[in-house]
Structure 1
Amino acid sequence: MTRIKYLALAAAILGAAGVATVGLTAGAAMAQTAQAKALVDAAKAQGIVGEQNDGLLGFVVASSDPALEAAVNEINAGRSQLYRQAAARNNVTVAAAGAAAFTEVVSTRLRPGEYYQSSTGAWVQK
């Protein structure tokens, strides 16, 4: 995929969905509760949850909080749905759509101190 197409895909995914630092905001393509977003926001600020290099959220450290696990699963389900739709519209793989969104989120929306996953899978603090 060319860099221009990759950037256009990322912009389309993020623009259409309103991707926030911690996940996707509610939109036509998916639903996310305010409670899930708030739980994930707090967990990201604490270094418990981070952005995986596939565009989904992941646990930087293990969590024993069922509500937080459910919130991450809820947001990831919405992101996955969005990536499938973007991939179909742009004739790319779902993995490419998720990777494009990840790149955009890390470069423009991730706050200092929050975590993201490197290409090798290691967690890195911004």
Structure 2
Amino acid sequence: MARPWSYGTDRGAGAIWVVAFAAVVWVTGVAAIAVGGVRGARHRGDAAADMAALAAAARVAEGSGSACGRAEDIAAESGAWLSRCRVNGEVVDVSVTVRLKVPMGIGRLRVVSRARAGPVGRDGVPWRDTAR
């Protein structure tokens, strides 16, 4: 009696393909989440650096210690760590670091963002010392 179909050598191949496809979808999903987390940390770091630089620039007249102290407070409140603060005349240059843990065994990453702030001239154009 003839069989209408036979397992032959393909027995169980469909299950292996389903498991392989599920693994690819899972790895792609976790990678997308990791990339999204890094991008979110980058945006948070950029915002923290901008706010810290503006806060420090507002306190430059009180001295560089006061300006950098305020920048450190603002960075900490934003979930970042102030890694550098330099006052050059009336211009403040800050760097902040955001730490995050990335899944899939990649570990911990540090995202560094920089910002500068200082006085502006007429019409919002940055002020420059032309007496050089």
- TM-score, length of structure 2 as denominator length: 0.32
- TM-score, length of structure 1 as denominator length: 0.33
Q: Which has the larger radius of gyration?
A: 2
Task: Considering Cα pairs closer than 8 Å and 6+ residues apart, tell me whether 1 or 2 has the greater RCO.
Answer: 1
Which has more strand, going by share of residues?
Answer: 2
